[in-house]
Amino acid sequence: MVAAGAALADERGLAGLTMGALAERVGVRTPSLYKHVSGQDDLNRRIAALALNEAADAVGHAVQGIAGRDALAAAARAFRAFVLAHPGRYAATIGVEPSGPEDPLAVAAERLLGGFMAALRGYAIAGPDVDHALRVLRSLCHGFATLEGGNGFRWNTDVEESFEWLITFADRGLRALGGTPPE
């Protein structure tokens, strides 16, 4: 049920995902959905947890065995690719709050952060600054991918070239912050 809802959200946008539309998609009457989810909010939360786990898998696999700029670039590219391929399910992750540390949302979010943390390990960033570095990195990747997905880059400059600039910008900033020499 959740996978079908996630696919529908990707096709129609999160706002286009309704219990009625999902029931039609899976070939049941709307009341039958309530055997699987308690309502729209529950469905959206489950889609958000699914999306965070899928993004965590993508980023985690991308950074395995590499470090420094290579890991940063791999994490950024994997995250961007996920957001562009799954805009509806990714939208479900924005603004949803876990109910506690055992909430599947919290567990999945920690997994995703773990992939980005792995990318940051090569930068020698001091403990208190790691949270800030993670927020900046997530903001850069999120902002770029969501703008790109929403056709927010309408000028003639190549988007891939701009994304490489983003990676270089982040790499230089993280190196400066951590005192890591340039490659």
**Sequential pLDDT tens for the chain (183 residues):** 999 999 999 999 999 999 999 999 999 999 999 999 999 999 999 999 999 999 999 999 999 999 999 999 999 999 999 999 999 999 999 999 999 999 999 999 999 999 999 999 989 898 889 999 999 999 999 999 999 999 998 888 899 999 999 999 999 999 998 766 656
Chain centroid to CA 166: 17
In whole angstroms, give the CA distance from residue 99 to residue 140: 27
Q: What is the CA radius of gyration of the chain?
A: 18
Per-residue tokens: 22: 């999902």
Q: Say how many C-beta atoms besides its own lie within 10 A of residue 79's C-beta.
A: 27
Apex CA 112: angle with CA 131 and CA 39, to 5°?
115
pLDDT, tens digit, for every residue of 124-153?
Answer: 898 889 999 999 999 999 999 999 999 998
Please choose, from the candidates 53, 54, 73, 55, the residue with its C-alpha nearest in 3D space to the C-alpha of residue 63: 73
pLDDT, tens digit, for every residue of 157-173?
Answer: 899 999 999 999 999 99
Percent of the chain with pLDDT over 70: 97
